[in-house]
């Protein structure tokens, strides 16, 4: 091992994992170790895993085994650390299944990364001790800002409470300080994330709620776009909508994971609401924010779901007209209530139902995108596709990584430009910069 081991990170899963990795990167930067941009230049690779559903676990396992097979033997002394959700969920089972791994670091122990690296490399971390500071390393025009972790809900299908623990809100002071730091690093868009952002403050004595967070972050100089993700339907209050409406730098975009529209399925999931109440909610949102862009997620094939339930959800999608809707095949996860429910649905049927809903959602989403042709939009430029020779950005109605992009004819990364939409390509838009 060199005197200054180089550490590289591979991150899988959701934006919360991206934030966790970034904090671990910040810890490495504060230590005697160095950061490597690519695994081939590293002495230690930290794989931050996802284990929310079976497919995510399989991807995590596959990635770790690929690193162990292809990267580890290339140079003597290389080491692998597996961090995140998979060690949190499976614990000691992994050490037996993956003897090639030098250390496992569950989510709750990621603040101990430097101590783990000291132990496995034998190289001092220059005395850096204690919990990870909220310092970030994220650079670029967009950054995730985590306002909470864990979850207080008990949805029948979900493993998150077991992986990440009970709901914990960060203080507004901590959130604002990190927001300012991210802006200083070059971020112009801050994406607020948590397992359930609308539950913010439920564990605090301050009385602060998500609307207070929105107003506080909106006041940070240089935070040009602020975006809300993981907004549960029962937490969309009039106060929250007013906070969005009153602050022009809070984008008119809400990600509301509904999961289904049929009441019997929602109750089996241990969730509230139904198609009628969701439509009322959407009407209330659009009345306050007429230009709002809405995203949702749905689960198809939950135990006991009937063809009539699927048809009801399909009719709901047609009435709601979401701009974006992600549809996932139900996955029976070990340790969840749903995994042992009767009336489990065959995988083939689950997939067919998901595709049916996905086709409906896509048809509507493509129409919504096409309706924006000839409109003027502000676009945050993220980079360039060198193969295609086009500039890539996003407008306010597109969240990072999941909602498509805007293809432009000019611009530099980090700029926010005005563009006329000249065409739509599915969820993607093609635009011409005005005044270029």
Of the candidate ranges 9-13, 214-218, 314-318, 338-342, the one whose mean pLDDT is the lowest: 9-13
Could you tell me if residue 172 is inside a domain?
A: yes
User: How far, in Å, are 13, 192, 255 from residue 153 at the CA level?
Assistant: 20, 19, 18
For residue 130, pLDDT beyond 50: no
Average pLDDT over residues 383-393: 82
Q: Which of 342, 370, 398 delimits the end of a domain?
A: 370
Examine the domain organization and report whether 340 and 383 are in the same domain: no
Q: Any idea what the CATH number is for the domain that residue 12 is in?
A: 3.40.50.12160
Could you tell me if residue 79 is inside a domain?
A: yes
pLDDT band at 54 (very low <50, low <70, confident <90, very high): confident
Q: Note the pLDDT tens digit of each residue in 422-435.
A: 999 999 999 999 96
Structural domain including 290 reads 142-370
Could you tell me if residue 38 is inside a domain?
A: yes
Q: Is the dihedral of CA 353, 355, 356, 362 positive or negative?
A: positive
pLDDT band at 135 (very low <50, low <70, confident <90, very high): low
Could you tell me if residue 135 is inside a domain?
A: no
Could you tell me if residue 71 is inside a domain?
A: yes
Q: Note the pLDDT tens digit of each residue in 260-279.
A: 999 999 999 999 999 999 99
Could you tell me if residue 130 is inside a domain?
A: no
Could you tell me if residue 126 is inside a domain?
A: no
Examine the domain organization and report whether 179 and 328 are in the same domain: yes
Beta bridge partners of 327: 298
Could you give the percent of the chain with pLDDT greater than 70? 97
* Rg, the chain, Cα only: 22
For residue 367, pLDDT beyond 90: yes
Could you tell me if residue 136 is inside a domain?
A: no
Q: Which residues contact 84 (CB under 8 A, 6 or more apart)?
A: 12, 13, 17, 20, 47, 48, 49, 50, 51, 60, 105, 106, 107, 110
CA atoms within 13 A on the CB side of 177: 9
pLDDT band at 2 (very low <50, low <70, confident <90, very high): low
Residue 397 contacts residue 381 (beta carbons within 8 Å): no
Examine the domain organization and report whether 75 and 165 are in the same domain: no
Distance CA 227, CA 192 (A): 6
Distance CA 108, CA 200 (A): 19
For residue 312, pLDDT beyond 90: yes
pLDDT for the residue numbered 164: 83
Examine the domain organization and report whether 259 and 354 are in the same domain: yes
Q: What's the CA angle centered on 46, arms 92 and 7, to 5 degrees?
A: 140
Q: Note the pLDDT tens digit of each residue in 92-109.
A: 788 888 899 999 988 888
Pairing mode of beta strands 376-385, 390-395: antiparallel
Locate 240 and state its tokens: 């929250």
pLDDT for the residue numbered 134: 44
SS3 content of the chain, % helix, strand, coil (to 5): 40, 20, 40
Examine the domain organization and report whether 343 and 216 are in the same domain: yes
Query: pTM for this one?
Result: 0.86
Examine the domain organization and report whether 220 and 300 are in the same domain: yes
Q: Which of 86, 121, 156 delimits the end of a domain?
A: 121
Average pLDDT over residues 390-396: 92
For residue 129, pLDDT beyond 80: no
Element (H, E) at 258: none
Examine the domain organization and report whether 340 and 195 are in the same domain: yes
Residue 260 contacts residue 311 (beta carbons within 8 Å): no
Examine the domain organization and report whether 107 and 167 are in the same domain: no
Examine the domain organization and report whether 260 and 317 are in the same domain: yes
Q: What's the CA angle centered on 372, arms 187 and 378, to 5 degrees?
A: 25
Q: Note the pLDDT tens digit of each residue in 179-198.
A: 999 999 889 999 999 989 99
Q: Note the pLDDT tens digit of each residue in 202-244.
A: 999 999 999 999 999 999 999 999 999 999 999 999 999 999 9
Q: Note the pLDDT tens digit of each residue in 136-159.
A: 776 679 999 999 988 988 899 988
Examine the domain organization and report whether 96 and 149 are in the same domain: no
Q: Is the dihedral of CA 373, 258, 235, 17 positive or negative?
A: negative
What letter does residue 380 receive in the DSSP assignment? E
Q: Any idea what the CATH number is for the domain that residue 301 is in?
A: 3.80.30.20
> What's the chain's average pLDDT?
90
For residue 401, pLDDT beyond 80: yes
User: How far, in Å, are 200, 365, 407, 410 from residue 389 at the CA level?
Assistant: 42, 26, 10, 10
pLDDT for the residue numbered 132: 44
Q: Any idea what the CATH number is for the domain that residue 407 is in?
A: 2.40.50.140
Examine the domain organization and report whether 74 and 148 are in the same domain: no
Examine the domain organization and report whether 311 and 200 are in the same domain: yes
Q: Domain total for the chain?
A: 3
Q: Which of 370, 391, 412 delimits the end of a domain?
A: 370
């Amino acid at each position: 091992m060199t005197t200054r081991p180089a550490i590289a990170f591979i991150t899988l899963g959701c934006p919360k994992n991206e934030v966790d990795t970034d904090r671990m990167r910040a810890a490495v930067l504060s230590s005697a170790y160095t950061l490597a941009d690519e695994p081939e230049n590293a002495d230690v690779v930290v794989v931050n895993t996802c284990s929310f559903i079976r497919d995510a676990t399989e991807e995590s396992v596959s990635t770790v085994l690929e690193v162990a097979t292809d990267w580890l033997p290339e140079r003597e002394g290389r080491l692998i650390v597996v961090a995140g959700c998979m060690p949190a969920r499976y614990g000691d089972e992994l050490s037996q299944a993956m003897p090639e791994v030098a250390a496992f670091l569950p989510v709750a122990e990621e603040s101990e990364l430097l101590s783990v690296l000291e132990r496995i490399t034998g190289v001092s971390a220059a005395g850096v001790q204690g919990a990870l500071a909220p310092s970030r390393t994220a650079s670029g025009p967009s950054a995730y800002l985590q306002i909470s972790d864990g979850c207080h809900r008990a949805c029948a299908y979900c493993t998150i409470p077991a992986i990440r623990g009970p709901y914990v809100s960060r203080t507004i002071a901590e959130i604002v300080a990190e927001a300012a730091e991210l802006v200083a690093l070059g971020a112009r868009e801050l994406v607020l994330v948590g397992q359930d952002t609308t539950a913010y403050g439920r564990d605090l004595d301050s009385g602060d709620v998500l609307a207070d967070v929105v107003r506080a972050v909106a006041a940070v100089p240089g935070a040009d776009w602020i975006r809300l993700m993981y907004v549960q339907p029962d937490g969309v209050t009039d106060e929250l909508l007013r906070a969005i409406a009153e602050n022009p730098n809070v984008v008119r975009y809400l990600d509301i994971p509904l999961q289904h529209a049929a009441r019997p399925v929602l109750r089996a999931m241990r969730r509230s609401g139904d198609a009628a109440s969701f439509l009322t909610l959407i009407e209330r949102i659009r009345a306050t924010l007429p230009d709002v862009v809405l995203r949702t997620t749905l689960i198809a094939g939950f135990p006991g779901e009937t063809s009539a339930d699927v048809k009801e959800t399909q009719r709901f999608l047609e009435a709601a007209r979401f701009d974006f809707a992600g549809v996932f095949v139900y996955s029976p996860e070990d340790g969840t209530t749903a995994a042992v429910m009767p009336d489990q649905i065959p995988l083939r049927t689950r997939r067919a139902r998901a595709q049916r809903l996905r086709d409906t959602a896509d048809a509507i989403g493509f129409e919504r995108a096409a309706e924006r042709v000839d409109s003027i939009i502000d676009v945050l430029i993220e980079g360039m596709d060198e193969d295609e020779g086009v500039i890539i950005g996003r407008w306010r109605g597109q969240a990072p990584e999941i909602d498509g992009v805007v293809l432009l004819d000019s611009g530099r990364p980090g700029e926010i430009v005005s563009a006329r939409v000249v065409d739509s390509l599915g969820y993607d838009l093609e635009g011409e910069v005005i005044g270029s």
